[in-house]
Structure 1
Amino acid sequence: MIHRPSRAGAALAVSVALSASGLAAASSHREAPAIARDPAADNTDLHAWVEGGNLVILASYIPHEEPAGGPNFHGFSDDVLYEVHIARGPSSLEDALTYQFRFSTTAYRASDPAGLPAPPSGGDELFSQLAGAEQTYTITKLEGGARTVILADAPVAPPNIGRRTNQLVYGISGGGYPAFATSSKFLKQMAGGEGRAWVGPRDDGFYADVGHGFDLAGMCPLLAAPSPSCTPRDSLAGHNVHTLALEIPLAKVNGGAAPTPGPSDQQTLGIWASASRRKVRILRANGQEDGLGPWVQVSRVGLPLINTWIIGLQDKDKYNRAHPRDDLANFGAYFLNPILVRDAEFAGLYRAGQPLAAFDPGALKENRTDLIDTFSLKPASLGGHDLETFGDVLRIDLGMPSAFPNGRALVPGADHEQTDITDALLTLLLTGATGATAGDGVAANDALFLPTFPYLATAWEGASQGHFTP
């Protein structure tokens, strides 16, 4: 059992800072060298919160999707195993439940271009949306050693290409893609009362000034005298991601019983998402690629920004391959001695006259047990949990309001709050959350989230929208 001393004053300040009003998002965009070369398998965000009688989980992939990225638009890979993992209780991070997503894309229908048929003839057009290929997915639930298919051959919502495609290919009158994409054609009930699922492209709900942030942490609010050109901007504005959305009855994730109100280690979950590829990949002479052997994990995400801001560059690929149960043993030093503080010190952010001058980097870059306590929901303000395991999982006590770090809600509600994750974690890491605020100057997403499932905003349209739109 892991017992870490708490910093009572800091813990209270942490809970206040992390409950500040805002919108919730996490980022794991291109955070490691290897996965940056494999965007279809790259986890970006993970949200999970209690909404009424359900647990909502949104696992997103494929960072920096340009909406106009045709003619071969972004999509899930048929060669990747996408998984949502749920551990239960205080003593284990092994999966109590696993939801596996596999994709299948039909081939373009072949035809003879010399015959000059009228489109859509299937295969000889220049436009992929006319060529007949469709992608479907199957969800398999793993629980107690049993494998159960709970949704088979469900259609993936298509890309938001433009009004002409909406009308002539999708058959949408008036170009109404938003309602079409979340209609019953794509919003599916899972078998056995397992809840609902939705899969497809959405607006990237992460918002932050990534550009200035990775210029040696030169975010405008952290500079005493920023240059005139240092204007905070949402670097992900106008980009899409691909999302796996689940809405699961609470009893299904709580071992068969509805959760009871109030803090409880036993009804606390640990949620994370991953992507895996086959160990052996063979490129055939005809261009076909085959995967052989066991699955090997290549990406994961749990808590926000862990592999981005806490794990050192030399271990980021290793972190993506590791299981959360081994995080304290393998990467505990990174949590206790955050590199971001050292980098900020090198960049001069703690020097006299700078906004962080009041803080002692020497105290902030060593023995940060407050980070482990906070992510483990140990402070009294977070329920006073005594969890025996620590790893990169998003903890959520089903009997408590879903306010980060106890889950992360994307939209406001009566029993959950929103949090500007970027500001909250910068504040926690760089100041110890002692009442100050360290942020990036970006306070909201570029699109309004939906009030209903699947909650993320509609995917941006390639023909008339995107990150270049004023």
Structure 2
Amino acid sequence: MKTTDSTASRRRLAALCLGACLGGYLSVAQASSHREAPFITTQPKVDAADFYMFNSYEGVAADGSGGRAGFVTLIANYLPLQDGYGGPNYFSLDPNALYEIHIDNNGDAREDITFQFRFKNTLKAIALLINNKSVPIPIIQAGVVSASNAAALNLNESFSVNVIRGDRRTGLSAALTHVGSGSAVFDKPVDNIGSKTIPDYPGYAAQHVHEVNIPGCATPGRVFVGQRKDPFAVNLGVIFDLVNAPLGVITDPGLIAAGKDDLADKNVTELAIEVAASCLVADATHPVIGGWTSASLRQGQYLTPSPAKGHATTLIPGGGWTQVSRLGMPLVNEVVIGLPDKDRFNSSSPKDDLQFADYVTNPTLPALIEVAFGQAAGAFAPSNAGRNDLVTTFLTGIQGVNQLGMITPSEMQRLNTAIPAVPFANQNRLGIVGSILAGGSDFAGYPNGRRPKDDVVDISLIAMMGGLCMANGNANALGFGASCKPTAVPLGSTAFSLHDAVDQATRPLMPAFPYLDTPIPGAK
């Protein structure tokens, strides 16, 4: 893709990208998908919290060269809202589930490549001699842990990763293996129990970054699975309480960090894989890919009244795989899809997304914001009918930026792998939108994929309050037709100053793989 510095082109990109951000639809509640549907609240181990897809920026220079340029990082976060002190069992993943990351590289809204993660939890049943009797201990460690699969670990987690080409259930499947040893089994670090058990958690976790051979790809990749600090920052309680904050605060750029980050003390489990971009795209002339994550459970489950000795033996699964979680663009199910269809959306596939079109073309969230602040404050819901602009930007990708192949309308993240990565220190927290508004050149962020630093909440607030049609008064020139006109724009020019009073850019992150920061310990 070629970018241009012309003012007209920048304004066009700004408007288009704002629309795409609104497609997230208003990740304003929290650009993560914690507990978004009725059923998934009962199955936290397979609850997808965030999905990130970006051109790797580890070690890259200002011009996008060097370091890990040419690689794409895919991150799927699961099991949200973890407290560091959540012992004695902590937060192991479900060995009876499939955790998957899907790639569509031709635009037909069907997976062409799937990375499938399976987990195994091995109980060692460490025992101590008490009064000449060998008695199993009640916790998951019996001493200091400093190495992978340490002897003192009572429960060791491991996992495998298969790459499936074609349909995720019937396609050709092959195992990823360690570079060097050839093993198809990878150790996962235990959660950050505390500094007495694991004195150097960053060093311990780093032992679990695995260099891997990927079948069908000549270039090795990297894999990491483990607990991390939740990378997302959001004023969660306030926003879900009908945006319970003074309008003067959330429209003042000087108060961008005045609110409370409700996820600041939470951890999450990260599934990260880094793959050469050339191994993900259809070919060199089609650099755009789409991506999403899903989790599936067995269709039947038997709850035994007499669990056997061992670990997690109460539930006996059976039957075919059934998808129960799905996440592409942030927060679609949480604040776009209506309550009657939330479980249905989680079980659906992108190819079938037209069944949910009414939620995009007739969104209810702007009207709820109008209720929250009232028209007297200038908080009118945008009056544009049909929202064909959102269908274009949210369901088909942005022409000239990240539109993908056949353009089958579908909800997923879309990434142009040909746009150079931007070093962590130089990234604009408002992604493409922020760069255009400030005259910058960061086109490697949301909605062109999504990086951990991208402040999806603020971008979406701007879009929600009329930024899409404000960005260029001649809406027809943007290709959206008469349905996108700058009428009843709420808050006037201050729409571009909106924020949730929590600054995503201040969230601690790593500039290198696996990018998410060290998890909060149970005890320091």
Same fold (TM over 0.5): yes
CA distance in 2, matches of 1:379, 1:111: 59
- Whether the 8 Å CA contact 1:375–1:405 is kept in 2: the answer is no
Return closer, same or farther for 1:432/1:326 CA change in 2, 3 Å cut-off: farther
- Whether the 8 Å CA contact 1:395–1:407 is kept in 2: the answer is yes
- Match of 1:217, SS state, is coil
**Aligned pair partner of 2:212 in 168, 189, 193:** 189
**TM-score when normalising by structure 1:** 0.81
- Whether the 8 Å CA contact 1:221–1:439 is kept in 2: the answer is no
Report whether the alignment pairs 1:337 with 2:362.
Answer: yes
Q: Which residue of 2 aligns with 1:363?
A: 383
Amino acid at match of 1:179: G
Deviation of the 1:250 alpha carbon: 1.1
Deviation of the 1:234 alpha carbon: 0.7
Q: Which residue of 1 aligns with 2:287?
A: 267
Report whether the alignment pairs 1:55 with 2:72.
Answer: yes
Deviation of the 1:446 alpha carbon: 6.0
1:60-459 to structure 2, matched below 5 A, reads 60-90=77-107, 92-109=108-125, 111=127, 114-115=130-131, 124-130=136-142, 132-144=154-166, 145-151=171-177, 152-166=184-198, 175-183=199-207, 185-192=208-215, 193-221=219-247, 232-255=259-282, 257=283, 259=284, 266-287=286-307, 288=313, 289-328=315-354, 330-347=355-372, 349-352=373-376, 354=377, 357=378, 360-361=380-381, 363-364=383-384, 366-376=385-395, 378-379=397-398, 382=401, 387-400=406-419, 401-410=443-452, 418-433=453-468, 434=470, 436-437=495-496, 438-444=498-504, 447-459=507-519
Deviation of the 1:225 alpha carbon: 11
Return closer, same or farther for 1:446/1:30 CA change in 2, 3 Å cut-off: farther
Report whether the alignment pairs 1:13 with 2:73.
Answer: no
Per-residue CA shift, 1:73-103, capped at 9, x if unaligned? 012111111000001123x111110111000
Deviation of the 1:439 alpha carbon: 2.1
- Match of 2:84, SS state, is coil
Deviation of the 1:383 alpha carbon: 5.8
Deviation of the 1:16 alpha carbon: 6.5
Return closer, same or farther for 1:382/1:284 CA change in 2, 3 Å cut-off: same
CA distance in 2, matches of 1:219, 1:190: 50
CA distance in 2, matches of 1:157, 1:187: 12
CA distance in 1, matches of 2:507, 2:258: 20
Amino acid at match of 1:269: I
- Whether the 8 Å CA contact 2:395–2:411 is kept in 1: the answer is no
- Whether the 8 Å CA contact 1:190–1:197 is kept in 2: the answer is no
RMSD: 2.9
Q: Which residue of 1 aligns with 2:6?
A: none
Per-residue CA shift, 1:297-325, capped at 9, x if unaligned? 01110001111121112211111111111
Amino acid at match of 1:15: C
- Whether the 8 Å CA contact 2:18–2:462 is kept in 1: the answer is no
Return closer, same or farther for 1:383/1:124 CA change in 2, 3 Å cut-off: closer
Return closer, same or farther for 1:236/1:116 CA change in 2, 3 Å cut-off: farther
- Match of 1:70, SS state, is coil
**TM-score when normalising by structure 2:** 0.73
Percent identity over the alignment is: 30
Deviation of the 1:387 alpha carbon: 5.0
Deviates more, 1:65-74 or 1:105-114: 105-114
Return closer, same or farther for 1:28/1:285 CA change in 2, 3 Å cut-off: same
- Whether the 8 Å CA contact 2:454–2:504 is kept in 1: the answer is no
- Whether the 8 Å CA contact 1:15–1:382 is kept in 2: the answer is no
Return closer, same or farther for 1:246/1:278 CA change in 2, 3 Å cut-off: same
CA distance in 2, matches of 1:455, 1:212: 28
CA distance in 1, matches of 2:20, 2:322: 34
Q: Which residue of 2 aligns with 1:170?
A: none
Q: How many residues align?
A: 415
Amino acid at match of 1:187: H
Report whether the alignment pairs 1:41 with 2:46.
Answer: yes
Return closer, same or farther for 1:16/1:272 CA change in 2, 3 Å cut-off: closer
Deviation of the 1:378 alpha carbon: 4.9
Deviation of the 1:115 alpha carbon: 4.7
Amino acid at match of 1:58: I
CA distance in 2, matches of 1:146, 1:224: 51
Structure 1: gaps (5+ residues): 1-7, 167-174, 261-265, 411-417, 465-470
Deviation of the 1:447 alpha carbon: 4.1
Deviation of the 1:380 alpha carbon: 5.3
- Match of 1:300, SS state, is strand
Deviation of the 1:157 alpha carbon: 1.5
Amino acid at match of 2:275: I
- Match of 1:326, SS state, is helix
Return closer, same or farther for 1:96/1:461 CA change in 2, 3 Å cut-off: same
CA distance in 1, matches of 2:305, 2:156: 25
CA distance in 2, matches of 1:273, 1:249: 19
Q: Which residue of 2 aligns with 1:468?
A: none
